[in-house]
Amino acid sequence: MAFFDIKGLVTPFTALKQFGKAPHTVTYPYNKKETAERYRGLHFNDLEQCIGCGNCSTICMNEAIDMINIDGINGDKGDSGLRPRVDNGRCCWCALCVEVCPTGSLNLTKDYIYVTPDADSFLWTPGVSNPEGKDNISFYSDVDTSLSMFNRVPMPELDGKERIKSFAETMLYYTEEAAREEANRCISCGLCTEVCPDHMHIPEYINAIANAEDEDAIRIIYDNNPLGELCGKVCTRRCEDVCAMQVRGDAVAIRWLKEYAVGRAETADMLREIVNPDIQEPNGKKVGIIGAGPSGLTAAYYLALKGFDVTIYESNSYAGGMTMYGIPKYRLPMDSLNKQIDYMKSIGVKIEFNTHVGKDISFDDIYNQYDAVFVGIGFQKPYNMGIEGEDAIGAIPAVGLLFDVNNGKTPDVGNKVIVIGGGNVAIDGARVSRRLGAEVTIMYRRRVKDMPADWEEIEGAEHEGVEIMPQTIPVEIIKDENNKVKAIKYLRAEMVADDKGGRPRPVPIEGSETIMECTTVIGAIGQEADYSFLPEEYRNKIEINRGRMVVNDDMQTADSKIFAGGDAVNRTADAISAIADGFKAVKSIEKFLLK
């Protein structure tokens, strides 16, 4: 190229034609540019939706988020009460906290301007510092894009039509791989531990399973629950109702993971080896326990570990209480329960079977022989159905049927069974009757969604061909000449809204009487405790309110030597509450006897 390249010297001057043009990236007069739809600006948190799980704080790689108390927000079941606060000096607006928020309450807005002369005001509480941010949300994470794992690993079960041919266990439970995958879903927030009556250490044992440390998981479970496999099969799982994952997806399968963990120890000896508890020296105190149900067994186990001399008096031939005699074997097989009870016997718990207190041995003897007594008798006596003709042959209480079946008998229920009631006992009675070869119909006063039974049980019953008739009120059992059940008369009901805002009530429809033929009628409308074992003087001393024994916070009755727990004491009446009562009583008994 020649040095004096005129063209090359002159062309650059064409740039001068830009001289008069208006600026193109900034408009005059100044108009704030429209921020993009997905802009990552300052945080906004919906304080009502947030459950305070702290997952945002854990994932933040700058450690910019703290969980703090906020005035006016008190934690409750399923909400820790803490809310996130962002340190804007450290935040890099990567929005990972938004991606892992399980409820979707934390989002980013379009605001990015934060100017203040105060150099120390860099702490920003989303939702409180910008309540108007709700209208400005730009970066959010919905169920598809969120990094939380919302879908539970499915649990295989036996086919509905096949499984009624036997009492084999319906649920096939998790394999090792499935359990690890399911355990990986947990975010370890701990909201579940608060609502568990026994306060089991749930995030800890789930993380142990996720890390393939199943033995540690068993030890953590046994720290405050000696019937882990039982709970794993039949617990009411209140923990899963507040799991952080269930807000937008499926709860972590806390119960089934418990079953998996304790199920890894296949025999009582293996349990003993793995748990390897620290049994203290005998301290010379003796404790007598009435009833080998979950509350009695739990109290016995932990008292024996602390060096007490424990004996349980059980009127039946097997231990377990309602869990042995009330829960059918297809939900809780014998070997599983026996394994857990054998392990307890191996550490020194003594059980006297077939010993009915009040008949074979008097309560007075026990009271005088032992330094403390724990009463865990449960609700074994069923209520009467309260309809005409219930004295017929073939009109039986559900607990009676379940008791017989679990004892190994095969009662003849005929080919058509009507079950009255809507709780777990009713469903159990229905499904057992199916396995005994009958067609079954459940009659319940209210609607299906009002039934207090576990939804899993209702679904299982429906898969097995049980018919459920809601809004049905039986009025009379019709007998034949031999006083056997022939048919049942019932009314249909309609739901009438309650003026006071409570549940709608069923009101019988006039003239809707129908008669259905049947061979057996099973009543399952509730149970009460049988206090006949208690002599008069004790019954006057102990306060019994509406059928339940009254205890103080230490599980003590009015007589300080008598402790009580289980169904006969608490209002929730499930296995885990009974176990929790037994566990609490141990601490109090220890305090009472060894102070």
Partner 1 sequence: MTDNNLHKEQQIVDHLIGTFQNLSGKVKREKRVEVSIEKKQISSVLNYVKDHLGFVHFSHMSCVDWIEDGYFELVYILWSPKQKVQLLVKALVDRENPSVENVDMIWRQVNTYQREIREMYGIDFSGMKGAQDFILEDWDEIPPMRRDFITDEYVKEVYFERPGREDAKDVRETLVKRSGEEIPDFAKKYSRD
Partner 2 sequence: MMREKATTLYLGPQHPGITGNMMIKLKVEGDTVVKAETHVGYLHRGFEKLMERRNWLQSFTIVCRICVPEPDPNELNYSRAVEEIEGREVPERAQWIRTLMMELSRLASYLLWFGGQNGSAGLYTMPQWTVGDRDYILDLFEELTGGRVYHMYIWPGGVRRDLPEGFASRVLQTMDYLEKRLLQYDQLMFDNTVFQKRAQGIGWIDPAKAIEWGVVGPPLRGAGIKSDVRIDDPYLVYDKLDFEVPTQSGSDVWSRSLVRRAEFQQSINMVRQIIDKMPEGPVYNKIPNPMKWNIPAGDAYVKSESARGEFGYYVVSDGGNKPRRVHVKGPAYVHGVTLLENILQGANISDVSFIMNSLGTCPPEIER
- Should residue 582 be labelled a site residue for partner 1 when binding is judged by CB under 8 A? no
d(CA 520, CA 485): 6
- Binding marks (x or -) toward partner 2, 157..186, rule CB under 8 A? ------------------------x--xxx
d(CA 300, CA 287): 8
* H or E element at residue 467: strand 467-469
- Interface residue with partner 2 among 56, 178, 210, 261 (CB under 8 A) is 210
Smallest separation, CB 298 to partner 1 (Å): 16
DSSP three-state, residue 584: helix
- Should residue 191 be labelled a site residue for partner 1 when binding is judged by CB under 8 A? yes
- Interface residue with partner 2 among 27, 68, 92, 267 (CB under 8 A) is 92
The conformation of residue 395, written as its DSSP 8-state character, comes to E
- Binding marks (x or -) toward partner 1, 216..255, rule CB under 8 A? x--xx--x--------------------------------
d(CA 366, CA 157): 46
Smallest separation, CB 181 to partner 2 (Å): 8
- Should residue 515 be labelled a site residue for partner 2 when binding is judged by CB under 8 A? no
Give the residue carrying structure tokens 């103080």.
552
Answer with the entry of partner 2, partner 1, none that 451 interacts with (C-beta below 5 to 8 A by kind).
Answer: none
Based on CB atoms, which residue is closest to partner 2, 36 or 475? 36
User: Of 422, 424, 474, 493, whose CA–CA distance to 451 is shortest?
Assistant: 422
User: Of 304, 315, 318, 285, whose CA–CA distance to 582 is shortest?
Assistant: 304
340 CB contacts (<8 Å, ≥6 apart)? Answer: 226, 227, 228, 229, 230, 262, 268, 271
22: number of Cβ within 10 Å: 7
- Should residue 93 be labelled a site residue for partner 2 when binding is judged by CB under 8 A? yes
Answer with the entry of partner 1, partner 2, none that 96 interacts with (C-beta below 5 to 8 A by kind).
Answer: partner 2
In the chain, the amino acid numbered 222 is Y
Based on CB atoms, which residue is closest to partner 1, 78 or 133? 78
Give the residue carrying structure tokens 């910008």.
130
Centroid of chain to Cα 236: 4
Answer with the entry of partner 2, partner 1, none that 223 interacts with (C-beta below 5 to 8 A by kind).
Answer: partner 1
Based on CB atoms, which residue is closest to partner 1, 209 or 432? 209
In the chain, the amino acid numbered 455 is W
Based on CB atoms, which residue is closest to partner 2, 33 or 449? 33
- Interface residue with partner 2 among 77, 81, 90, 94 (CB under 8 A) is 94
Answer with the entry of partner 1, partner 2, none that 149 interacts with (C-beta below 5 to 8 A by kind).
Answer: partner 2
CB 446 within 8 A of CB 496: no
Based on CB atoms, which residue is closest to partner 2, 3 or 28? 3
- Interface residue with partner 1 among 57, 225, 441, 527 (CB under 8 A) is 57
d(CA 289, CA 363): 11
40 CB contacts (<8 Å, ≥6 apart)? Answer: 93, 94, 95, 108, 138, 139
Answer with the entry of partner 2, partner 1, none that 81 interacts with (C-beta below 5 to 8 A by kind).
Answer: partner 1
Given strand 416-420, what is the order of strands in its sheet? 395-397, 520-523, 416-420, 439-443, 467-469
Sign of the Cα torsion 395, 401, 404, 410 reads: positive
Give the footprint of partner 2 on residues 1-60 (CB under 8 A).
1, 3, 5, 7-9, 11-12, 14-15, 18, 23-25, 35-40, 58-59
Based on CB atoms, which residue is closest to partner 2, 25 or 317? 25
- Interface residue with partner 1 among 54, 127, 422, 423 (CB under 8 A) is 54
Give the footprint of partner 1 on residues 170-189 (CB under 8 A).
187-189
CB 513 within 8 A of CB 490: yes
Answer with the entry of partner 1, partner 2, none that 37 interacts with (C-beta below 5 to 8 A by kind).
Answer: partner 2
* Residues facing 441 on adjacent strands: 418, 467
Based on CB atoms, which residue is closest to partner 2, 51 or 453? 51
In the chain, the amino acid numbered 152 is R
In the chain, the amino acid numbered 554 is D
Smallest separation, CB 185 to partner 2 (Å): 6
DSSP three-state, residue 68: strand
Based on CB atoms, which residue is closest to partner 1, 211 or 407? 211
- Should residue 211 be labelled a site residue for partner 1 when binding is judged by CB under 8 A? yes
Helix axes 214-222, 254-263, angle to 10 degrees: 110
- Should residue 66 be labelled a site residue for partner 1 when binding is judged by CB under 8 A? yes
Answer with the entry of partner 1, partner 2, none that 191 interacts with (C-beta below 5 to 8 A by kind).
Answer: partner 1
Based on CB atoms, which residue is closest to partner 1, 203 or 320? 203
Beta strands in 342-408 (DSSP E): 350-352, 372-375, 381-382, 395-397
* H or E element at residue 346: helix 334-346
Contact residues toward partner 2 (CB under 8 A) are 1, 3, 5, 7-9, 11-12, 14-15, 18, 23-25, 35-40, 58-59, 61, 92-96, 100, 108, 138-139, 145, 147-149, 181, 184-188, 210
Contact residues toward partner 1 (CB under 8 A) are 52-54, 57-58, 66-69, 75, 80-82, 87, 89, 120, 122-123, 187-191, 193-194, 199, 201, 203-205, 207-208, 211, 216, 219-220, 223
